[in-house]
Chain A
Amino acid sequence: MLVSLLWFEKSLYDLIKGLRSHRTAEDDYIQSSLRECRAEVKSQDMDKKATALLKLVYLEMFGYDMSWASFHVLEVMSSSKYLLKRAGYLGAVQSFRTDTEILMLATNLLKKDLASPGVPNISLPLITLPNIITPSLAMSLVSDVLSRISHTHAVVRKKAIVCLYRLALVYPEALNVAWPKIKDRLMDEDEDNSVTTAAINVVCELGWRRPHDLLPLAPRLFDLLVDGGNNWMAIKVIKLFATLTPLEPRLVRKLLRPLTNIIRTTSAMSLLYECINGIIQGGILDGDGAVDETTEIASLCVGKLRGMIVTDSDPNLKYVALLSFNRIAGSYPRLVSMHQDVILGCLEDADVSIRLQALDLVSQVVTSETLVPFVNQLINQLDDEHQVFSDEYEADEGDMCTESGMSPKQYSVLHTGSSFLPKDYSIEVLHRILDICSYKNYSNLLDFEWYVGVLLRLVKLVPTSSRGNSCFPSWQGRNQGNIGHRIVSEIRNVSVRVKEVRSEATTAAECLILTKEDTVFPGVTATGADVLGPLAWVVGEFAQHLRSPRETLLSLMEIANTPNSAHAVPLSIQAILKIFVRTILAEDVPWDTQGRGEATILLTRITRFLEALTVHPDLDVQERAIEFLEVTRLAVDSIQSESHAADEIPFLLSSIIPGMFRGLELNPVAASAQRKVPLPDNLSLDEAFKKDLPGLFSSRHSRPKKPRIQSFTEDFYYLQGTPTSVEQSSPGDFGYEICSSPSYQNHTMRDIDGVAALTLKKAERREQYRDDPFYIDSENGAGNLNSIGPDVHGVDLDSIPIVNLGLEETGNYHKTPAGRSNPKAPRRKTKKYDIMSDEMIGQDDPTDLEDFNQTRKARSSLLQVDSSGLGQLPLGNDRRFSPSSHDPTRIGDDAEMAKAMQEVERMRLQMQRASERVHLEGFPAEGTLVKKKRGG
């Protein structure tokens, strides 16, 4: 044995040494080594085989696939020498997959090794099984592993317990038989300490899946906690209790004393931390008044946590303390906000992990009072960071921005010596600022003018080349869309939702467009397209607030022509015409010869711009360009024609073209509103429109019959639809009037006339919009959209169930603490803003949101071990079956098993032959290279 050991050590040693000496041509060296391994692993000499295998395992670590060698792994596993066997098992752990076919051949070997007399030999399958287990393998091995749980050696017992847990994960029925045995091990007070700890660890994993089964164990767990004398175990026991206390409130009183005792006395920080955590998570602080000491405990915990941040220089303690604060903040924001000073201090910490935790925390406890200073602090932090890199961008901030009441730049260089922050962090901070400000439809935000200023500052803080996603955990699926886009979308949001700052927001957008974005958006030019879209929409839609529409128009055309902005072109086309209309209709521009001349010049430029787009590869752009091109040509004609008075704007320009863009004000609509539109009963999405589709094509020469379904839609759009208000009113008198007073939730709210007037107005409006399919009536449930089908068919409207599918845009990020429901009455008297909320059919209903979350959660994480199977299994203690039980099904199983084994043996031979054949036919012997070059 010693000889062989030395021999294969040398050869692995050679490989490693070779790797080091072939730094430059490493890949070639590895390829040739893999070729050697391929030959060696087929050798009859078991030592040689094992060596080759070890080398393969070593190379697998660097990303070279070894799944092709699974048969040889099995061969080495069956070696009689322990060290070779161990190498084989190691190969299995590292390379076997559930779909490795060889696995079924291993069953007998595993059974044999499990029953072997030596402890090391038994250990090998026990430590390997968790990594390679499949349901069928688990089924055939569960009894073998189970019997090891009462082995004389503690080492074997504890391994068997853990192994059984992993068996049960893929084959939940195993838990039925294993659970009583594991429980026995746990309850046995004379059991070896290691075994008890292992059992506790397993139970802790089971705990959150099946807390009810663990309740009977509580007394024993309590004993282990009090006099276990093992910190590792105590930590786990506390974690277990945290899942149990919500089920059994009586435990709280019992636990309180030992836990506070530990908190006061222990010197082990990990145990202290878990105690505090257990108290928080177990809901012990909730108390229900049953425990008088709650407040005392709470302040003890929070005090200890504060101590971990303040006094200990250890960054780990700081981090976990913040983690705990984060947990508390959900239910006791008041407790946390008392310690805001230390938390804000952590925002300045050099360590990014700590900063992020603090950031999380502050965004949870921020209130309308603390929002402004907090955001200012964050921005200043970014500012300082930013200045180091790019002073040149600071220089020109258009005068317009400062005019329009943007907040002046206030640099308070708090931490000039701040270390370099990663770009990801800056992006995360930007996201977080937006999160905080827009939280719950801006309910914490009191000063929107300030906010618009902040947004403009943020734009400049977007780090360069922020193309990629943040590498920090994304909270609300935020990695869709980059930060630049998010900021300008905020500008758009504010301009739509808050009328009072609409003009400021529009000016901000204008300002960004005028400065040509490559200077303003140093970081996002690469993705400028995302940025231009919302801006173009804002300046177009709210063109009446523009300060210099002409310049904006020209600038917009210029930007839209850059290749980066391709996606924003459709929006820009629309905006351009809107702004043009505004330049014509502005009161301060008289329609004289000069005015006409300017209009003509503008129109010519627009025409040229649109002409270029008529051959745009994007069909959407093409279509819009052609449509608007015709309109502008008509406009040019109308100016030049002599048919009207010289000082009168042509009718086409004064009314018809503006009429294209006027109508109902666009209100924000909840993202899920579309999904809430109930399906008409008679709509069948599964049914084919036309059963005989090929027949339809073949008979296309015959006169096409109009499908019935089309007539419905036609009826709806062309016959039934009453004209909208635009068409009802005479041209000329609806323009700004409609724009300024359509809101049904803003201005009317402030009417002193009271409720009567309000309802009257509402009723009027409802009447007016009754048949407008785009008007969502919040009171009438689904509103008119329902009427699409039913009205035509004479179905009773009320009979259609209104499905509540609420989904609020604010998402899941903040679990709203009950005590913090938005103090809407601003104590610090600032301007009162009305913020439009999303329009929604029916009521907001969180269930839909949960559904949504669940589908998101269903995408499992990469390393996740699925334990969901354990949750459903009924643990009937009465239904134990022992391997020796002689029920008829069992006998049937045996016969089946024997058959399966024969099949397995046949396949084994087949595969062996196949592998030999491969060798003979001289297949390329290289290992499959998974990735070309290894790192470093």
Chain B
Amino acid sequence: MINAVLVFNNNGEPRLTKFYTQIDTQAKKELIGQIYDLVSRRPPTACNFLPLPPMLSRGAMSTVELGPSDAPTQVIYRTYATLSFIMIATSTESPLALIDLIQVFVESLDRMFENVCELDLIFGFESMHAVLAEMIIGGVVLETNTEKIVASVRSQEGPAAKRSIHTAGASMGRGGLPGLGGWR
């Protein structure tokens, strides 16, 4: 199962934190810090797999030798423009499929916000949560079809979903997230 989905920007400021277990605010913050630390050190050409951050490697055993367990064993990240998307999962998830899943998430957000950028996600963070809720519930993948995800969120929010954020100032830029090309 998926244990957590995180989004943060290049400065490590969180944009979305979703943990499918209950941990306290302090631990969340610390874990995000550790993962940001790992992500920020990686060159853009590196692969999308992170070593387990110290907080998670405690008590976790090697995936290779032991069979499945409840402990998270993989941390996958993918960076789009200014944002990094992270998924923490157990061995029952396929690593490559998780990369795809991040792609689906970003594509859905792109569809929701029409050429999505970081600013959209800041101001539309409720919608971002809604999109994620259509994809993953309680750590189990629910839907991977972008159409269905977006349709479902739209049906909740009504036609006024796309909000106007053009007043937000040029300083933040509206570049959109490149690299949305298909993975598979």
Cross-chain contact of A863 among B17, B21, B94, B143 (Cβ < 8 A): B21
The answer to whether A865 touches B126 (Cβ under 8 A) is no
Q: Which of B58-66, B105-113, B173-181 sits within the interface?
A: B58-66
Taking CB atoms, residues of chain A closer than 8 Å to B59 are 856-857, 859-862, 864
The answer to whether B3 touches A864 (Cβ under 8 A) is yes
Task: Give 1 or 0 for each of A837-854: 1 = CB within 8 Å of chain B CB.
Answer: 000000000000000010
Cross-chain contact of B142 among A198, A812, A815 (Cβ < 8 A): A198
The answer to whether B21 touches A864 (Cβ under 8 A) is yes
Taking CB atoms, residues of chain B closer than 8 Å to A930 are 25-26, 29
- The CA-CA distance from A935 to B24 in the complex, in Å, is 17
- The CA-CA distance from A872 to B21 in the complex, in Å, is 22
The answer to whether B55 touches A353 (Cβ under 8 A) is no
Taking CB atoms, residues of chain B closer than 8 Å to A204 are 92
The answer to whether B138 touches A130 (Cβ under 8 A) is yes
A381 at the interface (CB under 8 A from B): no
Q: A856-913: which have CB < 8 Å to B?
A: 856-857, 859-868
- The CA-CA distance from A66 to B64 in the complex, in Å, is 39
Taking CB atoms, residues of chain B closer than 8 Å to A323 are 63-64, 95
Q: Which of A156-164, A487-495, A598-606, A616-624 sits within the interface?
A: A156-164
Known contacts A353-B47, A419-B43; A270 and B100 CB within 8 A of each other: yes
Q: B4-61: which have CB < 8 Å to A?
A: 4, 9, 11-29, 31-34, 36, 38, 41-43, 45-61
Known contacts A162-B140, A316-B99, A863-B72; A471 and B163 CB within 8 A of each other: no
B157 at the interface (CB under 8 A from A): yes
A194 at the interface (CB under 8 A from B): yes
B170 at the interface (CB under 8 A from A): no
**Which residue of chain B has its CB nearest to the CB of A5?**
B160
The answer to whether B53 touches A471 (Cβ under 8 A) is yes
- The CA-CA distance from A2 to B137 in the complex, in Å, is 28
Taking CB atoms, residues of chain A closer than 8 Å to B56 are 861-863
Task: Give 1 or 0 for each of A59-72: 1 = CB within 8 Å of chain B CB.
Answer: 01111111100000
Q: A307-325: which have CB < 8 Å to B?
A: 314-316, 318-320, 323
A649 at the interface (CB under 8 A from B): no
- The CA-CA distance from A836 to B131 in the complex, in Å, is 62
The answer to whether A205 touches B64 (Cβ under 8 A) is no
Taking CB atoms, residues of chain A closer than 8 Å to B95 are 273, 316, 319-320, 323
**Smallest Cβ distance from B37 to chain A, in angstroms?**
8
- The CA-CA distance from A326 to B95 in the complex, in Å, is 15
Known contacts A119-B155, A130-B138, A205-B140; A235 and B48 CB within 8 A of each other: no
Known contacts A863-B56, A930-B26; A351 and B64 CB within 8 A of each other: no
The answer to whether B62 touches A130 (Cβ under 8 A) is no
A contact patch SS:
helix
The answer to whether B46 touches A159 (Cβ under 8 A) is no
- The CA-CA distance from A82 to B160 in the complex, in Å, is 14
Task: Give 1 or 0 for each of B66-77: 1 = CB within 8 Å of chain A CB.
Answer: 011111100000
The answer to whether A318 touches B47 (Cβ under 8 A) is yes
**Smallest Cβ distance from B17 to chain A, in angstroms?**
5
A269 at the interface (CB under 8 A from B): yes
B115 at the interface (CB under 8 A from A): no
A83 at the interface (CB under 8 A from B): yes
- The CA-CA distance from A281 to B61 in the complex, in Å, is 17
The answer to whether B71 touches A861 (Cβ under 8 A) is yes
The answer to whether A120 touches B137 (Cβ under 8 A) is no
The answer to whether A861 touches B160 (Cβ under 8 A) is no
Known contacts A268-B184, A865-B21; A935 and B45 CB within 8 A of each other: no
- The CA-CA distance from A859 to B60 in the complex, in Å, is 9
- The CA-CA distance from A517 to B50 in the complex, in Å, is 35
Number of A-B contacts (CB under 8 A): 260
The answer to whether A862 touches B64 (Cβ under 8 A) is no
B88 at the interface (CB under 8 A from A): yes
- The CA-CA distance from A5 to B94 in the complex, in Å, is 39
A402 at the interface (CB under 8 A from B): no
Known contacts A54-B126, A155-B152, A857-B59; A866 and B70 CB within 8 A of each other: yes
The answer to whether A232 touches B96 (Cβ under 8 A) is no
Q: Which of A8-16, A566-574, A586-594 sits within the interface?
A: A8-16
Q: B133-173: which have CB < 8 Å to A?
A: 133, 137-145, 148, 152, 155-157, 160, 163, 168
A166 at the interface (CB under 8 A from B): yes
Taking CB atoms, residues of chain B closer than 8 Å to A130 are 20, 137-139
- The CA-CA distance from A356 to B126 in the complex, in Å, is 39
Known contacts A316-B48, A857-B59, A861-B59; A86 and B100 CB within 8 A of each other: no
The answer to whether B21 touches A471 (Cβ under 8 A) is no
Cross-chain contact of B96 among A54, A159, A273, A856 (Cβ < 8 A): A273
Taking CB atoms, residues of chain A closer than 8 Å to B15 are 61
- The CA-CA distance from A204 to B33 in the complex, in Å, is 31
The answer to whether B28 touches A232 (Cβ under 8 A) is no
The answer to whether A865 touches B94 (Cβ under 8 A) is no
**Smallest Cβ distance from B33 to chain A, in angstroms?**
6
Taking CB atoms, residues of chain A closer than 8 Å to B48 are 315-316
The answer to whether B33 touches A935 (Cβ under 8 A) is yes
- The CA-CA distance from A87 to B127 in the complex, in Å, is 10
The answer to whether A472 touches B51 (Cβ under 8 A) is yes
Taking CB atoms, residues of chain A closer than 8 Å to B81 are none
The answer to whether B130 touches A86 (Cβ under 8 A) is yes
Task: Give 1 or 0 for each of A903-926: 1 = CB within 8 Å of chain B CB.
Answer: 000000000000000000000000
The answer to whether A63 touches B21 (Cβ under 8 A) is no
Cross-chain contact of B70 among A98, A159, A194, A865 (Cβ < 8 A): A865
Taking CB atoms, residues of chain B closer than 8 Å to A863 are 3-4, 19-21, 23, 31, 56, 72, 88
Known contacts A351-B47, A865-B70; A205 and B144 CB within 8 A of each other: no
The answer to whether A58 touches B125 (Cβ under 8 A) is yes
Instruction: With A319-B95, A861-B60 given, name 15 new contacts (CB 8 A).
Output: A87-B126, A96-B22, A127-B138, A194-B143, A197-B141, A208-B67, A239-B92, A315-B46, A351-B46, A360-B64, A472-B52, A853-B61, A863-B19, A864-B71, A865-B139
12 A-B pairs with CB atoms under 8 Å apart are A9-B123, A90-B126, A130-B137, A131-B22, A159-B137, A166-B137, A419-B43, A472-B57, A473-B57, A815-B65, A861-B72, A863-B23
The 4 A-B pairs with the shortest beta carbon distances in the complex, nearest first, are: A130-B138, A270-B96, A315-B47, A936-B11
**What is A's interface to B at a CB cutoff of 8 Å?**
2, 5, 9, 12-13, 16-17, 54, 58, 60-67, 82-83, 86-87, 90, 93-94, 96-98, 119-120, 123, 126-127, 129-132, 155, 158-159, 162-163, 165-166, 194, 197-198, 201-202, 204-205, 207-208, 231-232, 235-236, 239, 243, 267-270, 273-274, 277, 314-316, 318-320, 323, 326-327, 330, 350-354, 356, 360, 419, 422, 469, 471-475, 812, 815, 853, 856-857, 859-868, 930-931, 934-936
**What is B's interface to A at a CB cutoff of 8 Å?**
1, 3-4, 9, 11-29, 31-34, 36, 38, 41-43, 45-65, 67-72, 88, 92, 94-97, 99-100, 122-123, 125-126, 129-130, 133, 137-145, 148, 152, 155-157, 160, 163, 168, 184
